[in-house]
Amino acid sequence: MTVTIYHGDNLSVMRGLPDASFGLVYLDPPFNTGRVRERAVESASTPRDAPLPGSVTRRGFHGRDYERLRGDLRVYDDRFDDYWGFLEPRVLEAWRLLADDGTLYLHLDYREAHYAKVLLDAVFGRDHFLNEIIWSYDYGAKTRKRWPTKHDTILVYVKDPARYWFDSEAVDREPYMAPGLVTPEKAARGKLPTDVWWHTIVPTTGREKTGYPTQKPEGVLRRIVQASSRPGAAVLDPFAGSGTTGAVAQGLGRDAVLIDANPDAVAIMRERMPLATVRES
C-alpha cells in the first residue's frame, strides 16, 4: 500500500485533491492552548452576532443561522474565532474529500470539544453525528487544585448516516474488566470497545517513540482505521505530525495521504516510512 507525504499547508494541499477521495479522514489539529492566530478585525460597533467579513452563512441547527451561532459563541469566549477561523475551512475541506460512505474523526481536548460539537452539528447536520469518543490516559503531571485532565475527545461524523462503513468485527478486542462474570469463551475473545477508550500515551522508552511532542499511540489509530475504513481504502491525515496514521494505515492494507507544514514532522515520517513518496507543496 502507498503512503504519500505532502510538506506544505494542509488547506492548500486539500484544495488540490478531488472530491470524495477518502473513506476515512482523521484530524488531530493543534489544541487551542491560548495562542492567537490572525483573524479579521472587528470594529467596536460590529454586533457580536454579525458575520465575519468574507464568511458564508449556512443553515442548520434547527433552522438557526450558522453565523448567528458563531456570534453567540464569541460572546462566551472572545478567543473563539482565533482558533476556529483557522480550523473551520480545514474541516470543511476534509468533509468535501470524504467519500459517501466515509467517516470523519476530529481529535480535540476539553478546550474546544464543546465548540466543535455545536458547530459541526450546525454545518454537517446533527443526524451525521455518530459518536463522542473519550480517550482516557493516566500519565504525566497531575494538579492538586482541580480534577486532573487526563482525556481527549474524538468527535465522529459520517458523510451519509444510511450507508457509512463500520466494521466492529475488525476491531481489536480488549479484556473484560470482570472476566469471571462472562463465559470462558467470551473472556478469551475479549469485548468490543465502548466509546470510552483506556489507552496509555506513547511510552517514553517504547518502540513507537519518535520524539515528536504530540505523537499519538498506534493503538488508538489502529482502532479507528480498523473500524471505519475498508481494506484497500484511502485514509487522509491533514495534521500528520509523526505519521502514526500513515504507519497504521499501511500496516492494515490502506493507502494514506499525510500532510504537515513542519519540516521536523516530515523528516520523522520519512524515517518512519522510508518507502513513502514525499511531495513539496
Q: Check which CATH number belongs to the domain holding 190 and give it.
A: 3.40.50.150
Domain assignment of residue 41, yes or no: no
pLDDT recorded at residue 205? 67
Domain assignment of residue 52, yes or no: no
Instruction: Report the C-alpha gap between 158 and 222 in whole angstroms.
Output: 18
Which carries the bigger pLDDT value, residue 252 or residue 43?
Answer: 252
pLDDT recorded at residue 201? 87
pLDDT recorded at residue 246? 98
pLDDT average, residue stretch 133-153: 91
> At 33, is the secondary structure helix, strand, or coil?
coil
pLDDT(45) > 60: no
Domain assignment of residue 77, yes or no: yes
Which residues are CB-neighbours of 87 under 8 A, at least 6 positions away? 29
Query: Band of the pLDDT at 25, cuts 50, 70, 90?
Result: very high
Task: Count up the domains in the chain and report the number.
Answer: 1
Domain assignment of residue 47, yes or no: no
Most trustworthy range by pLDDT among 27-41, 67-81, 205-219, 237-251:
237-251
Give tens-digit pLDDT for 202-228.
877 678 888 888 899 999 999 999 999
Domain assignment of residue 244, yes or no: yes
Residue 234 backbone phi and psi in degrees, to 5: -105, 140
pLDDT average, residue stretch 83-109: 93
pLDDT recorded at residue 96? 97
Average pLDDT, the chain: 86
- Whether residue 87 contacts residue 39, with contact meaning beta carbons closer than 8 Å, is answered with no
| Unique residue bearing C-alpha cell 507544514 | 261
pLDDT recorded at residue 211? 85
Owning domain of residue 102: 3-35+58-280
pLDDT(58) > 60: no
Domain assignment of residue 45, yes or no: no
pLDDT recorded at residue 223? 97
Domain assignment of residue 49, yes or no: no
pLDDT recorded at residue 65? 61
Domain assignment of residue 50, yes or no: no
